[in-house]
Chain A
Amino acid sequence: MIFRYANQMVASIEGIGHTLILLTRTLLWIPWLWRKRAETVAQMATCAFGGFPVAMIVGMFSGMVLALQSGYTLQKWGQEELIAIVVPASMVREMGPVMTGFILAGLVGSTMAAEVGTMNVSEEIEALEVMSINPVYFLALPRIVALALVAPLLTIYVDLIGIFGGAFVGDRILNLSYTTYMKHTLDTLELKDIYSGLLKALVFGTLISSVGVSQGMRARGGAEGVGKATMRTVVISFVYILIFDYILTWMVYQ
């Protein structure tokens, strides 16, 4: 029992180490990104178009639920107007980047792990090395850069949809007009709220893609190994998102 936990612990540390090394090596390849611009743009399109429909639903309902929950509570003191402060601030600082991170981990991170993992078990990555093509440059660079750039864009989209969802609930249920809601929103939001949210999204995007590619590169044992790598990518990404969300919030707002 103890040995099993010890082995799992060692494997986790090994995984973190592999992801960090992969990320560092990818950053060293950044000067050669222009050679991979076509693949990077293609990856960005895949990430964005894959994420937009789900992001719309998640963003909309996150904003609506936030407005509804805080609205009912604030209504007791006749302060329902405050949802125009609570919803946008929550969306831009927290819900937007975190929800986007979760969506991207489930949709894109898992896809990357499956794709790279399949390449690994079918000897395609070895074939790249044999041809002297560095797999970090060829596979990791375009994927990690693409998701790091798409995550903030998708976060802005989720933020806007969420804020609109809050306004919709305010107008239909809490008798708060769109104009009042938007006025409060614009008065309340600070530049710091926006950039901290986007910074979180950038970090989450980088982490999710690094974990996905790293897990794919370490996949062993055929289809079963690829499946496990995919599952691990989602779980590890979720944990990283929550840990780094706390760290970044503390760093920005302390």
Chain B
Amino acid sequence: MPEHVIEIVDLCKSLGGKQVLNRLCLQVRRGETFVIIGRSGTGKSVTLKHIIGLMKPDSGTCTVFGTEMGKATRAEAETVRRRIGYLFQSGALLASMNVEDNVALPLREIERMPEDQVLRTVREKLDLVDLDKVELKMPSELSGGMRKRVGLARAISRNPELVLYDEPTSGLDPIGTAAIDELILSMKKKLKVTQIVVTHDMASARRIADRIGLLYDGRIYFTGTPADLDETTDVVVHQFVHGEVAGPMTEKSGETKRYRRQRPPTPPPAPPTPHPAPAPEKQDFPPPA
């Protein structure tokens, strides 16, 4: 039986009076790429923040590398975080530092590495994310895709065993999205890391996932391989995968009704117009004798 890096059991979390996660259960195996899909605001990022220990559960447990993050002391949580890389949606690069300093930050501040080793590691990680000659650039000088690559280089700078990606392809064009997908695949191949990717981009999810979990109604509603996702007859999964406006997901949140109300009323069918009497066939040639 494969070893589980992450085990979440009955995780509940309310934010601003809204039940975001409701008895969520999830297990992620070592070495797999698990993609969490779901509509915006369903708690995908909240789940990641519980895994990294930035949020504490209201109830339930979230165990990462054998440490229960909800009950861990700051020191214990930091020990676990050193084994995790996290790519933020925006990249979350420190705007006051150049690319090199951003990637080197955990190496200098936490690992206290000698400077020559820091620079060598930074170069190596930037190579891994296919970036060249950007060390001295400021984050404001980079495109969205490049910022995410630098964010990824920083996330993997300490050779983590687990990498979490929060919407890695949002805001990118299709080519940029494919490039980030390739990077995620290459991370698995080259670094043998376990990866959790949060996204609502179905094409991207199919490309990179070993398993996909659909987050719906505060819990993982469906888990399976990309092939399972396509074969299932479940209406909820079907609606999300095919991006249909009407369906159980939107009906429950009341969006379908709104959608229907907002649609302009269908005009009554126009009265049938009488067809003009067919003109007698014109004979250009005299009938044969």
- Check if B92 sits within 8 Å of A127, measured CB to CB: yes
Give every chain B residue within 8 A of A138 (Cβ-Cβ). 109
- The segment out of A118-126, A145-153, A156-164, A166-174 that lies at the interface is A118-126
Which of B54, B90, B93, B95 makes the CB contact (< 8 A) with A130?
B54
Whether the Cβ atoms of B54 and A119 lie closer than 8 Å is: no
A131 contacts the other chain (CB 8 A): yes
Which residues of the partner chain B approach A119 to less than 8 Å between Cβ atoms? 94-95
A10 to B: closest C-beta gap in Å: 17
Task: Contacts A131-B109, A133-B110, A138-B109 given; indicate if A124 touches B94 (C-beta within 8 A).
Answer: yes
Whether B90 and A123, one on each chain, are in contact in the complex, defined by CB atoms closer than 8 angstroms, is: yes
Contact size class for B? Answer: 10 to 19
List residues of chain B with CB within 8 A of the CB of A131: 81, 105-106, 109-110, 154
Interface residue? B52 (CB, 8 A): yes
Residues of A close to B54: CB separation below 8 A: 126, 129-130
Chain A at the B interface: mostly helix, strand, loop or mixed? helix
Report how far A122 CA is from B106 CA in the complex, Å.
19
Within the assembled complex, what's the spacing in Å between the Cα atoms of A118 and B94? 10
Q: Please give, as numbers and ranges, the residues of chain A lying within 8 Å of B90 by CB-CB distance.
A: 122-123
Q: Report the count of interface residues on A (CB-CB < 8 A).
A: 13
- List, in ascending order, chain A residues with CB within 8 A of B92's CB: 122-124, 126-127
Does A132 interact with chain B (Cβ within 8 Å)? yes
Residues of A within 8 A of B78 (CB): 132
Residues in chain A near residue B84, CB distance under 8 A = 130
Q: How far is the CB of B49 from chain A (nearest CB, A)?
A: 8
How far is A37 from B52 in the complex, measured between Cα atoms in Å? 30
A244 to chain B, nearest CB (A): 31
**Chain B residues near A123 (CB-CB < 8 A):** 88-90, 92
* C-alpha spacing A129/B69, complex, angstroms: 14
Q: Which B residues touch A130, using CB under 8 A?
A: 52, 54, 81, 84, 86
* Contact indicator A132/B88 (Cβ below 8 Å): no
Complex Cα distance, B235 from A74, in Å, reads 91
Nearest first, the 8 closest Cβ-Cβ pairs linking A and B are: A127-B92, A123-B92, A132-B78, A131-B106, A130-B86, A132-B81, A123-B88, A133-B109
